Amino acid sequence: MLEATVCHLLRRSGENRELLLGKRVSLFCNGIWNGPGGKLRKNEKPLACLRREVREEIGIFVDTKNALHVGTVDFYHPYKSAHRLEWRVYYFNVTAWQGEPEHHPRIFDELAWFRIDRLPYESMLPDRKIWLPLVLGDEIRSRLFTAEIYYVDA
């Protein structure tokens, strides 16, 4: 099983809250909007991975004291006649950072801020429409979302 982190970088813009997303350039999730993040290295803790991956992918320094772990999702993929746990992904909401997000073309085709009530769900992984609104709410501090997602062969 591989482990990874994803950062939900959140800011206020007037009356609205916004989420930074990037359109991925990769074999997996190519053209899909997602937050910055990536794989944990051997013996690396999720918060250390979050800080490193966000720095590498969008060039900012995340204050991990203010990073809120809002969800953990296990992704199961078909393997022969059963499903196998392939990924465990830790999701964090972050509202404090240093620097301005930078676009790195080898990672994202583009970066954009989206209003929370107008996320591009049609261009995101399908499960996001179900659970992402739950972890982006102001009241999230009192709960942690966990899920198992099973992919099937099409």
Per-residue pLDDT of the chain (154 residues; tens, 9 = 90+): 999 999 999 999 888 999 999 998 876 778 899 999 999 999 999 999 999 999 999 999 998 898 999 999 998 888 767 788 889 999 999 999 999 999 888 889 899 999 999 999 999 988 899 889 888 876 656 668 888 988 877 5
CB 110 within 8 A of CB 23: yes
pLDDT at 92: 95
Q: Which two tokens stand for residue 1?
A: 């099983």
4's tokens: 């990874």
Q: Dihedral angle at the C-alpha atoms of 13, 18, 23, 24, nearest 10 degrees?
A: 130
Token representation of residue 29:
């999730």
pLDDT in tens, 3-27: 999 999 999 988 899 999 999 887 6
pTM of the predicted model, to two decimals? 0.91
The pLDDT assigned to 139 comes to: 60
Residues with Cβ within 8 Å of 39's Cβ and at least 6 positions away in sequence, in order, are 2, 3, 4, 49
Among candidates 121, 115, 105, which has minimal Cα distance to 34? 121
Beta partners for residue 68, in sequence order? 93
Indicate the pairing of strand 82-94 with strand 2-13: parallel
Please, where are the H alpha helices in 5-147?
Answer: 46-58, 128-136
Quickly tell me which residue has 């009192």 as its tokens: 142
Give dist(CA 89, CA 146) in Å, integer: 10
pLDDT at 31: 84
Distance CA 88, CA 27 (A): 18
